[in-house]
Structure formats: structure tokens, C-alpha cells
């Protein structure tokens, strides 16, 4: 397993941007698909985006396509989530997750074995 630490959350007005970062421990970071999930109060944790270890494939939920971009820097063991055109409904705790190997399509949280502690994103209207 890998240890994950998120950062970059905060309070932003609607239409604004934030970039989340997730730093991972370990020497095999490039072997892991990295994902972002979010959980709003009273709701289930939902998938946002994932990226393969090579960085060659990404997949995002329809609700964030065209607004959020996932990227990774394997030299820095870090994955990013650039969030633009934020909406109040994007308010949630955002979690970074890791899964050894590849993920195809829309995963469920149970597909990922390692999780960060989460970072709060609040979008005001």
C-alpha cells in the first residue's frame, strides 16, 4: 500500500479555481492508478476522476468533465486535480485514492485500497 496526503483545499467563490495535490509515499508510484473521489455531507462517496500509472489514460465523471483535469508527476510521486469553474454543488471533502494496476471505466470506492485523509473544498454562491 501507499500512504497518501492531500492538500490544496479551501474556500472559493463560484466560478473560481483550486488545485488539489496528493503526495504519495513509496517507490512504485507509477504502478498505481490514482483517483479522486468526493463526499458531500449526507451523501455517499462518489468518483471524480482517475489516471493510470503511466499517465496515458484518464477518465472523469460527467459532472466534472470539461471543468476538472487530473494529472500526475511520477518523478514527484504526486497527483493533481485542477478544478475550474467551480460550482456550489462541488462542495465536498475530496479524497485521493490509489489502486495497484489499471482501472477501466467508472470505479467504485471499493476498487481502491489506499486513501488519504481528505481535504475540504467549499464553493460559495
pLDDT digits (tens, 9 = 90+) for 3-39: 999 999 999 999 999 999 999 998 899 999 999 999 9
For residue 14 the three cell numbers come to: 463560484
* Distance between CA atoms of residues 46 and 24, nearest Å: 21
For residue 1, give the 3-state DSSP assignment: coil
Output the pLDDT for position 101: 94
Q: What proportion of the chain, given as a percentage, has pLDDT over 90?
A: 94
Per-residue CA distances from 22 to 4, 15, 74, 99 (Å): 6, 23, 12, 14
Output the pLDDT for position 27: 80
Output the pLDDT for position 56: 84
Amino acid at each position: 500500500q501507499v500512504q497518501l496526503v492531500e492538500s490544496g483545499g479551501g474556500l472559493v467563490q463560484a466560478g473560481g479555481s483550486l488545485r488539489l495535490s496528493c503526495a504519495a509515499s513509496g517507490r512504485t508510484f507509477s504502478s498505481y492508478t490514482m483517483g479522486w473521489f468526493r463526499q458531500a455531507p449526507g451523501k455517499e462517496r462518489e468518483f471524480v476522476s482517475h489516471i493510470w500509472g503511466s499517465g496515458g489514460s484518464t477518465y472523469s465523471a460527467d459532472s466534472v468533465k470539461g471543468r476538472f483535469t487530473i494529472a500526475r508527476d511520477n518523478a514527484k510521486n504526486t497527483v493533481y486535480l485542477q478544478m475550474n469553474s467551480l460550482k456550489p454543488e462541488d462542495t465536498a471533502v475530496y479524497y485521493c485514492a490509489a489502486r495497484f494496476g489499471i482501472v477501466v471505466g467508472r470505479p467504485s470506492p471499493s476498487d481502491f485500497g489506499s486513501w488519504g485523509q481528505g481535504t475540504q473544498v467549499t464553493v460559495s454562491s
